Amino acid sequence: MKVLGIDPGTAACGYGIVHESDGRLRATCYGWWRTSPRERVEQRLLTIFAGVSELISRHAPAAVALEESYVGADARIALSVGQARGAVLVAASSAGVECVEYSPNRVKQSVCGFGHADKGQVARMVKAILALDEAPRPDHAADALAVAICHALAPPLLRVAG
């Protein structure tokens, strides 16, 4: 099973694909899309939509797993992340690919065994789980791979947000 993990954001949107086969996980690809705040918002969202659409077309994942939005003190950031999530959801839906969402704590619990792990711990565990030579960079890519790992490791009946 292939899973496309997404760490949504408008300025920086991480992605990572993991492939589970015979009980082993490996990274197929990972990276991030970066958009400029000088671009119009619709152009930034189109970049994310096109990137997700291209990854789905090329790799045919069974699911797209997203990290749920963290609503902190800045409402503008929450809105921006929500718009990026929307672009991802529409790209997946238009390709007929199931989408699931996981809370940041659930992703960290799944990958690190601790729901409040820091970004460094997440990156190191992603490196270990996927047997990578080095931790994925930037953090957005490591986080996206962690979301994909979370979904790939979830028992089928528990592959839901929360």
Please, are residues 102 and 69 in contact by the beta-carbon 8 Å criterion? no
Residues 6+ apart with CB under 8 A from 97: 4, 56, 61, 62, 63, 64
pLDDT 10s digits, 27-83? 999 999 999 999 999 999 999 999 999 999 999 999 999 998 766 667 788 888 899
**Is pLDDT of 153 > 90?**
yes
The CA distance from 3 to 103, in Å, is: 17
pLDDT 10s digits, 67-109? 987 666 677 888 888 999 999 999 999 999 999 999 999 999 9
* Mean pLDDT, rounded, for 143-149: 98
Please, are residues 152 and 3 in contact by the beta-carbon 8 Å criterion? yes
> Which amino acid is residue 87, in one-letter code?
A
Q: If you average pLDDT over each of 8-12, 13-17, 20-24, which comes out highest? A: 13-17
Identify the pLDDT of residue 76.
80
Identify the pLDDT of residue 162.
42
**Is pLDDT of 158 > 60?**
no
Identify the pLDDT of residue 4.
98
Identify the pLDDT of residue 161.
45
The CA distance from 109 to 18, in Å, is: 18
DSSP 108-144: HHHHHS-TT--HHHHHHHHHHHTT-SS--SSHHHHHH
